[in-house]
Structure formats: structure tokens, C-alpha cells
Amino acid sequence: MKPTSVKSALAATVVAVAAASAPAHAGKTLDAIKARGQVVCGVHTALAGFSAADAQGNWSGIDVDVCRAIAAAVLGDGTKVKWVPLVAQQRFTALQSGEIDVLSRNTTWTLTRDASLGLEFTGVTYYDGQGFMVPVSAKITSAKQLKGATVCVQSGTTTEKNLTDFSRANGLNIKPVVFEKIEAAENAYFTGRCVAYTTDASGLASTRNQVAKNPADHVILPELISKEPLGPAVRRGDDEWFTIVKWVLFGLIEAEEYGVTQANVAKMQAESQDPVVMRLTGKSEDMGKLLGLDKNWLVNAIKAVGNYGEMFERNVGPKTPLNLPRGLNNLWNKGGIMYAPPVR
């Protein structure tokens, strides 16, 4: 290689390294959020454990916590969120139109949604699967016993299509009874209009524990007939915002893996000598600069909602009415498949 070529190569390398370490441009979505002082978050109208409001209008759930974590990371305050309750048919239009900044509404990541709706999924907050709930009195022990049965289902969901596929594949001739709103589907099931009710297994647990007059009168059948990776989505076209939302989720998962909690994050930031913890807390390296955020972006998010494990346990875990096991949603090194790329 000629000397001039060597110099050119070295110069290109220096430029590339400098570009890689430069602060990120904020992006139009983050600029808008900072200007209004709020993250606008699309959530479910009422799904206990994921997103639901109490009588005083206080929202809670895993999907709600995701939005609070994002607000804390970008604005320094997890309360700076505007909640927009959406039924299934509204959710994608609300995101496409700019009505919301992020959709965090128990939404399944599929190829069609990812490739054709003008949105991008940022990760998985809950690995789920579609199931069926039936009255104990029906003495049904398997979904394959639902031949010719009426099944209540919400329209505009992957659930509706999965039900049709499952019925056809197994020759069951199931008769879907379709409703636009989840509340109508639940009411129809509990009043006996349908033999069974189908949705994600987590949703069945929520409905049984929050809506049924006596939860013990209903059983969730053991089969799961689909894969339902649920996670937040953002509008396509703003790579900076997509990256921020994605890494807030990854950061909460990584925080659990390294034992950083809502209660100890300040102490860990001040005292830990673990290289990973020092990066997570902004003590040794400013990861926030690469996202266009403050160096305490992840510390603020953890202070607001805790790590991923704390979010799970508080909202849907064994000590809650939903009583859901960690299962697949445990960390990759504890028997689950929750796995975050390294924050480094």
C-alpha cells in the first residue's frame, strides 16, 4: 500500500471512530416529546396486569410500566405520560397518525404487522401464547374437544385468525362469535353465549381473576395454539426514537440480570465496581450520549419502575391475582428466554 493510501485509510478510521462515539441526534419524535413534556402512550382499555386504570384513574401494568420507564429515561420523570386507551382496531392507526408516540398494548409481533403497517416492534415484554377458557361445569379438558363449539373472540386481533387456523387444522368446525370490544366478548362468554373464550393465556388469567364472579368456576385449558410475543411498537421512520425505546427495554432486562433494582440502583451507582453495572448506571461510560439522552437515562428508568423482573412480579407474578409463573419470561440464565443485547 502506498503511503498516501495508508494515510487515507487511517484518516477514514479516525472519522469512523469519531462518528461512532458522537452523541446521537435527538430525532423528531424525541424533539416533540421534549417540547410537550410528555410521552403519549397507547395502552389497552382494561387488561389487568398489562394496562388498566383504577377508579381514581391511576394506570398500572407491565405495558404501563414500559411507558413510565421510557418517560423517565427521556424526561427524567416517569409520571410524564399521557395515556391513550385504545381498542384493538384503533391501535395501529393511532400510531401511524402520530396520535401516540409508542404503542404498549399487549400487541403481538408478526411479519405482516412489522412489514406493512408503517411501524417497528422494539422488543418483547411478554412471551405469550393463545389459549382457551371454559366453565368447569362443561367438563372439557382439551381444546380439541371444542368440535362445533361456539367460541367468543375479539376482532382485529391475531387471536381471531389463530382460532380459524386451529379449527381448520384439526377439523373442529369451531363457530367464532366475534366482538369488537374485549368487554363484550367477556360478557358473552360469562353469560353463556359461548362455550369457550379465547385470547392470550395471560389475558385469560386476567379475565378470570378480574371479571368472573367466581374464578374457580372457570378453567384455562392446557394447550397453547400459537406464539404471541408481545411488545411495544413505534412509528417507522424515526430511527433515533426506535433505538431509544428498544434500549430502555433492553436496559431493564440487563438490570435484572446484574441485580440492579429500584431499591438499590442509587447505591449500586455509587459503590459498584462491576464493569457492567458501572456502564448501566453511567458511572464509567456515558451510554446516554449515544442515545441523545442524559447519562442517568437508565438509572432514572429503574428508579421509576424497577428492573424487568420487578415489573413482572408486581403486575402479573405469583403474588398477584393473575398468578402467572415466570416461565419463558424468566432470564435466559434462569430457564427462560428473556435475553438482552449488552449495554456497552
pLDDT means per 10 residues, the chain with 344 residues, are: 46 43 71 98 95 96 98 98 95 97 97 96 97 97 97 93 96 96 94 97 93 95 95 97 98 98 98 97 96 97 98 96 94 98 96
How far apart are the C-alpha atoms of 256 and 235, rounded to whole Å? 28
Eight-class DSSP state of 274:
-
Q: Report the interhelical angle of 62-75 vs 308-315 (nearest 10°).
A: 140
* Predicted TM-score (pTM) of this structure: 0.89
| DSSP β-bridge partners for residue 234 | 120
Q: Quick one: pLDDT at residue 27?
A: 87
128: left (phi over 0), alpha (psi -120 to 50) or beta: beta
pLDDT score for 6: 44
> What per-residue confidence (pLDDT) applies to 18?
42
Q: What is the pLDDT of residue 23?
A: 54
d(CA 241, CA 32): 11
Are β-strands 233-235 and 130-135 bridged in parallel, bridged antiparallel, or unpaired?
unpaired
What residues does each domain of the chain span? Answer: 28-127+230-334, 130-226
Do the two domains 28-127+230-334 and 130-226 of this chain adopt the same fold? yes
DSSP at 284: S
Instruction: Round to the nearest angstrom and report the end-to-end CA distance of the chain.
Output: 34
pLDDT at position 126:
98
Work out whether strand 130-135 and strand 218-220 pair parallel, antiparallel, or are unpaired: antiparallel
The rounded distance, in Å, linking the Cα atoms of 279 and 109 is 30
Q: What is the pLDDT of residue 156?
A: 85
**Which overall architecture, per CATH, does domain 130-226 show?**
3-Layer(aba) Sandwich (3.40)
What pLDDT is attached to residue 4? 46
Residue 25 is predicted with a pLDDT of 61
Beta bridge partner(s), residue 153: 178
Please tell me the CATH superfamily of domain 28-127+230-334, with its number: Periplasmic binding protein-like II (3.40.190.10)
